[in-house]
Amino acid sequence: MKILVTGGTGTVGSQVVQELLKRDADVSVLTRDASKPLPAGARAVEGNLLDVNSVRQVFNGVDAVFLLNPVSQTETSEALMAVTSMRKAGVKRVVYLSVHAVDQAPWLPHFGSKIGVEDALKKSGMAYTILRPNNFYQNDYWFKDVLLQYGVYPQPIGSAGLSRVDTRDIGEAAAIALTSGGHEGQTYDLVGPDVVTGESTARTWASALGKPISYGGDDLDAWEAVQVNYLPHWMVFDFREMYLHFQQQGLKASPDALARQTQLLGRAPRSFESFAAETAAAWTGSAAAR
């Protein structure tokens, strides 16, 4: 089976590629820069889903696709151009990366942009599986310096609670859905085993790092004042509203979602505590990392 992975050099897509290679799949990675390093066994396919010439060619001869569209102002267009071209190319199976509880907050730009894509896949005639992950553990990689230098956990996720997920579990779930039967037409929430908050996340990092870590708090004005120095303003707007939703409503998994994910993976999902301990050891060079 020839499988094309979009976003295959990123945080989630790279995990999908690794899991597919473990299963001896024939893996290609769609990338705008073919010089980016890939794992041994994966091939680069240079292209751009917003470029008509690219999107008309990259799916030819492909049996299955992992479709991931990065958060952008053109996310929906990229995805729908891909779906249209996959149908014409005769792609047999698609696994699409959406977002947990996407239909509960469709006004959020990067949530709502995925709803039309999900619907398009359901009506496309192709076999599809939709994965809806929660907030990634690996987002915390961005906070390494703030955690280590200032002792602060800055992601303003609030106290209502999230069922955050390890991207390695996402990669494994995607590879299973792409390479085995029984997942056609299914939608899986991908989540962690515990509900975490801003305060509990800070405590977990404090334990893992062996130093005091405080939660940066829920002040979104303060968060925005910092982030506009690093991120595009449209993205800050989008993420600020997402964090407000997290603070007000949370993003928690149901027991049924956890049970279905456990059955899909054949094991329980990875915990945030184990991720933090592993990551802290790698950051500090402690014996646990070796």
- CATH number of the structural domain spanning residue 180: 3.40.50.720
* Dist CA 86 CA 62 (whole Å): 9
* pTM exceeds 0.85, yes or no: yes
281 assigned to some structural domain? no
Q: 66 pairs with which residues across the strands?
A: 5, 95
Q: Is residue 153 part of a domain?
A: no
In a domain, 185, yes or no: yes
Residue 77 counted as domain residue: yes
Which of 44, 47, 3, 46 shows the shortest CA–CA distance to 21?
3
Could you tell me if residue 101 is inside a domain?
yes
Written as tens digits, the pLDDT of the chain (290 aa) is 999 999 999 999 999 999 999 999 999 999 998 888 899 999 999 999 999 999 999 999 999 999 999 999 999 999 999 999 999 999 999 999 999 999 999 999 999 999 999 999 999 999 999 999 999 999 999 999 999 999 999 999 999 999 999 999 999 999 999 999 999 999 999 999 999 999 999 999 999 999 999 999 999 999 999 999 999 999 999 999 999 999 999 999 999 999 999 999 999 999 999 999 999 999 999 644 33
Sheet holding 93-97: strands in order across? Answer: 43-46, 26-31, 2-6, 64-67, 93-97, 127-133, 186-190
Within a domain: 263: yes
Q: Cα–Cα distance between 234 and 240 in angstroms, integer? A: 10
d(CA 236, CA 220): 10
List the domain range (segments joined by +) for residue 175: 2-135+166-190+254-269
Residues β-bridged to residue 214 = 152
202 in a structural domain: no
Q: How many domains does the chain have?
A: 1
Cβ–Cβ < 8 Å for 75, 113: yes
Q: Following CA atoms 60, 61, 66, 69 in sequence, which dihedral angle do they give, to the nearest 10 degrees? A: -10
Distance CA 107, CA 105 (A): 5
Tell me if 20 is assigned to some domain: yes
